[in-house]
Amino acid sequence: YQGSITIPVIINILEDANHPVTQAHINSQIAILNEDYNDMNPGTGGVPNEFNNAVADVDITFVVAAINRKASTKTSWGTNDAMKHSNLGGIDATDPANNLNFWICEIGGGILGYAQFPGGELDTDGVVIGSDYFGENPAGGQYGHGRTATHEVGHWLNLRHIWGDGGCRQDDFVADTPSSDRANYGCPSYPTVHCKTNDMTMNYMDYVDDNCMYMFTNGQNDRMRAIFSTGGARESFVN
């Protein structure tokens, strides 16, 4: 699928008084997503020369369609999707074939967020983000600049981790991301070499600090766009 894509976003918040999610957090998160998915992250100027031609403008715009709030005293929701079901204390998804549902809650276990890949059950489709890691939020520390959502939406759009979650031969099914055998953390210096080539540590699908990730590649863009084509798992968003 070619051309601009607009994704309506539903923000489902399970409110924990100790970890508030404010309108300012929401606004900053949407602004960050729109920067990152339109090649407007100011950090992109730091992309090394060898990766410059690979930088993609994904051309996806995220627009808030609704904000749902529900009080919750649960401080550790985990990753079993309970937050996505009202009968389990959560909030039911809104029309997931036509909206990207976010759930913001206290996940616990040091988990920043998680996502469902395309092609799964509709009622659990979407992205979960820990309350402190949604938007610009000092409480999130080095993960307080909204890039967990950028990374998780990448999974929701069918992207794998850049190192393929395995050794040097394990692919992420993207040709222009160099092979690696591990996640990178913190803010790696360039070059960082694994599998005999320089890692693209600044890719959104690595595990570095929020301020140290600032690119998707053209190959990742192709992989994301394929799911919006005829017969693709997210075709309903463009029709």
Active site residues: 152
Q: Which residue has the tokens 């036509």?
A: 98
Is residue 102 involved in binding ligand ARG (CB under 6 A)?
no
- Partner interacting with residue 113 (select from Ca ion, ligand ARG, none; CB below 5-8 Å by kind): ligand ARG
- Does the footprint of ligand ARG cover residue 105 (CB under 6 A)? no
Q: Residue 112's binding partner, choosing from Ca ion, ligand ARG, none, with beta-carbon cut-off 5 to 8 A by kind?
A: ligand ARG
Which residue's Cβ has the minimum distance to ligand ARG?
148
Min dist CB 204 to Ca ion, Å, is 14
How many CA atoms, within 13 angstroms, populate the side-chain half-sphere of residue 15? 10
| Smallest separation, CB 144 to ligand ARG (Å) | 9
Per CB under 6 A, 112 contacts ligand ARG? yes
- Contact predicate 194/180, CB 8 Å: yes
Question: Residue 25's binding partner, choosing from Ca ion, ligand ARG, none, with beta-carbon cut-off 5 to 8 A by kind?
Answer: none
Partner whose footprint covers residue 177, from Ca ion, ligand ARG, none (CB < 5 to 8 Å by kind)? Ca ion
Residues 203-232 that bind ligand ARG (CB under 6 A): 207-210, 213
**Binding piece for Ca ion, criterion CB under 5 A, among 7-15, 45-53, 175-183, 221-229:** 175-183
* Residue 152 near ligand ARG by CB under 6 A: yes
Quick one: 81 or 172, whose CB is closer to Ca ion?
A: 172
Count interface residues toward ligand ARG (CB under 6 A).
13
137 binds Ca ion (CB under 5 A): no
Rounded to 5 degrees, φ, ψ at 145 are -125, 25
**Distance between CA atoms of 234 and 133, rounded to whole angstroms?**
26
Please select the residue that binds Ca ion; options are 174, 202, 205, 227, rule is CB under 5 A. 174
Which residues contribute to the site for ligand ARG (CB under 6 A)? 112-114, 143, 147-148, 151-152, 207-210, 213
Which residues contribute to the site for Ca ion (CB under 5 A)? 172, 174, 177
